[in-house]
Amino acid sequence: MDKHELDDSVITQKKEKLQRPNMYRVYLHNDDYTLQEFVEFVLQQVFFKSYEEARKIMLAAHMKGISVIGIYTYEIANGGIQKVELYSEKLGYPLLCTMEEIDI
Ligand code: TYC
């Protein structure tokens, strides 16, 4: 038994730990069918990119096959990916976004 366990004179204080949230990198994948303008639209609507940023991210995926949209918490990343899926399904596009946890 700890020598202080029954000793009222010892004041213990729990140290508050601020847990950093896990972070996720969200990727945009190229395909041959989705309209460029639609990709730009989705990036602006879902991930709050400016038109210039959206075009840059879209063109990077178009030319390299994949590009990074950004780094977000789980909820934002996952919610964004689901919204992209909904928009894409509605118009019959195969646009794909994925996410992976990153070390920070
Ligand atoms: N490659 C598509 C086209 O030529 C455009 C596109 C860009 C699609 C980026 C998906 O993530 C993407 N219409």
pTM for the structure as a whole: 0.85
What DSSP assignment string belongs to 31-84?
Answer: -SSS-HHHHHHHHHHHH---HHHHHHHHHHHHHHSEEEEEEEEHHHHHHHHHHH
User: What are the distances in angstroms from CA 44 to CA 10, 28, 34, 69?
Assistant: 57, 13, 16, 11
Look at the block and give the residue holding tokens 């949209």: 69
Question: How many angstroms from the chain centroid is the CA of residue 34?
Answer: 21
Question: What pLDDT shows up at residue 8?
Answer: 66
Q: Atom of ligand 1 at shortest distance to CA of 28?
A: 11
Q: What percent of the chain has pLDDT over 90?
A: 79
pLDDT for residue 7? 61
Q: Which residues line ligand 1 (CB under 6 A)?
A: 28-32, 34-36, 39, 58, 61-62, 95
CATH architecture, range 31-102: 2-Layer Sandwich (3.30)
Å from CA of 28 to ligand 1 middle: 10
d(CA 28, CA 97): 5
Q: Is the pLDDT of residue 89 over 50?
A: yes
Would you list the domain boundaries of the chain?
31-102
**Chain segment 2-50, per-residue pLDDT in tens:** 555 556 677 777 778 888 889 999 999 999 999 999 999 999 999 999 9
